Structure 1
Amino acid sequence: MKNSISKFLRKVPKPNDSSLQTVYPKLEEFSSFENVKKSTITGWIAYQMAKNLSVNEEQIDLFFLKPFIQKDYQEHIEPEAETILQLAQSATLWIQNDSLIEEEIKQLNLSPAYTKVLSRVIREVQTEKDLQEKAYSESKEIWNVYRDVIYSASQGHFLLVEKTDLIRYKSGKLLCEAEIKQREDIPLARNAATEVFERVNLKPSKMMSYKLIVSEAVTNVLKHAEYGKLLIYQDEITSTLRVIIEDTGKGFPLKILPQTTLMAGYSTKKSMGQGFNLMLKMADQLVLETSTSGSTLILILKGENENVENKLEPRNDHTKNNYDSQVI
């Protein structure tokens, strides 16, 4: 691979100098991770085709790299190599669009050798794609069951959500934002939350309860992660407060969430001990998004208007990731 990369290097004169300098190839501008995945699939298909079509061994690795390199930095491509790359690009689009591969290949009038190799390589990619989609689908079904069971068992007080749902909670007026990087930041975050509760004129009894569960939440950040953040938003219509605590920890394993959230006193190194139970008692609703890249805990707290229902409910349609809300 190292020798292949060197084939993209150029020697050009230095400005105001007769000596030469090495110019390294530039990558294509990828606007999204999805584009990176497409280039990877294209490169892999081209690489596998080159291997099976007896292309010069010294050139084979180049077929994987070419989709990532800007065309201005590529030397002249032989006709056969150009054909393989074009077929790989087409195959990637067919796979992405779930096209009927046999019909697409038939329209190209390829030689038997090209038809055989291209068909086999595409089947390999499709098989892997199908396995990944099946695994995701099964995982999503299990996640939906956990979400619905916990929601029902908690009588709507605990809602498990996905990362794509979080944006709806970060709306309204931002009242507070505090980073949690070290132990000294914990009391600062608590004080920032207390100032917000005082500004919105909460009743003393309610303020005491809210301070307690916010303190519990921010204290747990550094127990499970190296970095976290506290944000507090207020709905400008209902006065509902959304206290958001983010962290970059390893997340909560799905299998322990029912015990963690519903069993009083349940505690492991990966759970929050009695924290969840305390929050469930004092908050109007608890919302949690968790994965191996971190967690976001949201405390839905009633503000001045205590007669407004603020809870979110899971959709009955499990094919969608969003949630209906009466008032957020």
Structure 2
Amino acid sequence: MTPSPGLQPLTAGLLECVTARDVARVIVDRGAAVLGATAGLLALVSEDGRLLEIVQSQGYPADVQVRWRSFPIDANLPLSNAVRQMAPLFTSSRAEWAAIFPHLTERNQDTNATADLPLIEHGRVLGALHLSFRDERVFDDADREFLDELVQQCSLAMGRALARQQADDARRRMEFLVRASEVLTESLDYSKTLHQLAHLVVPELSDYAQVAIVDGGAIDRIAVAHELPEREAVIRELYTLYPPDPTHPNSVGSAIRTGEVQHMTGLTDEIFVKAAVDEHHLSLLRQLALTDTLTIPLSARGRTLGAMTFAMSSESGRSFRPSLISFLQELSRRAAMAIDNARLYQDAEREISERKIAEAARERAVRQREDALIENARLMTEAVEASRQQREFQVNMLSSMTDGRLILCESPGDLPSPAPRLEMEATIQEADDIFRLRQAALATAVRCGFADERTDDLLTAVSEACMNAYVHAGGGDVRVRTDGECGVIQVWIVDRGKGIDYSRLPDAMFRKGYSSAGTLGHGFKLIISFADFVYVLTGPGGTTVVIEQHRSRPEPAWA
């Protein structure tokens, strides 16, 4: 779709965006300017799908922005209703607003008309845009068509940014786990390694981190880290003067006692006032300004060794989303294993010291060899499992990001059943063969009654797939098949190249102009864009690509 002239500044700005916040800023700032709105905000659906979280706003008082930082999707609110109904909501005047939302008395006196527009990409609601207008305004068909075009542009840009952000987050967390594992294994002094781990977590994953260890029945806090180093002294003073009640349901003691994760959200100054025992206690709590805390027990071999506490503050505005909680649980599991291994080693050392030197030396050598073999076996097992999980994650991610049109096959049995009627078969040996195959595919599509647009999509996908086989594998065999009713055309392209590196598939699909020997090359993105379904089976002995096109475009996977 060619954007309307009035949307050119917004479209140009969206093309320059990298992150979801960049996209939100352009949508709110430039979108409001294009439409003449006096205020606007954009909220995204939270990771757990329960809240709308405002990521960008303008034209609203600061206290209003803080109070409405997030709100439930199931609430009777304009933006929530638009998201639930997946449809825009317009009010042309204050009177119409009051009639629909009589319970919402807090409203800018300068606002009359409003528009609440859901951002939808491939049937999935990403969030919604709210715009306020000073004058009364009837949104006619032209207005609504213009707003629909604006929302489509914004939804596509936001969808791209969120997908890129998820991939970046996964990569960064894998890299973080590698760094954390190096820290945890570099020394048997777990007090030292846990101190380093706490400062590794902050500020990348959390604004504040603390590690507490059970030692002789007492809880010993051996590591504290805060994004602002001067706050670490505040934390120590807080726990020294006002030690938390270990029986409190959300305390470190509770996590250690029950072995369950303790998560507190929505901490406010009113809660601090109720919890403080005196003015100094309240002052310390306010200096930390925590809004979200997460305490995870450190457990190994059925025993709880301590707990790690993470916290976010109002200054950063961050919170613990489900994916981050899962990641921190995995990190805590590795920390618990490091503590347990260190203690086991220390126990072994004490036992050895009580025996004769010769016997101790002999047993230590055996233990070290056994430990090394076990550790090597564990590392090898983890490496194999990590490789399998990475491949499975990539297969699922690529399928999801293409709405199920790309199917990566593990074995020939995963390929589709061949359509019963063989229309033609040929071999690609030179560039002219591709032209002849394209003509044969065109004739088949015409005979099967495919519309021009469906035919053009098929020809584009087939040409690009054949070109990939010719350029990257030196050619291949092609078969064109149809079903009995001529409602489906299959094009099978089989080459004997060296196969496709799965790790490069995201670049091959989504990076403009990307090509590399061993990947699907320049045309793979086009193949997925124009074909209804693309099956890929690849290995060292070659690659099979099956393009399947239906006479009528099938419903997407999310429909």
- What's the TM-score once normalised by structure 2's chain length? 0.29
If you compute each CA radius of gyration, which structure gives the higher value, 1 or 2? 2
Which structure is higher in RCO with an 8 Å CA cutoff and minimum separation 6? 1
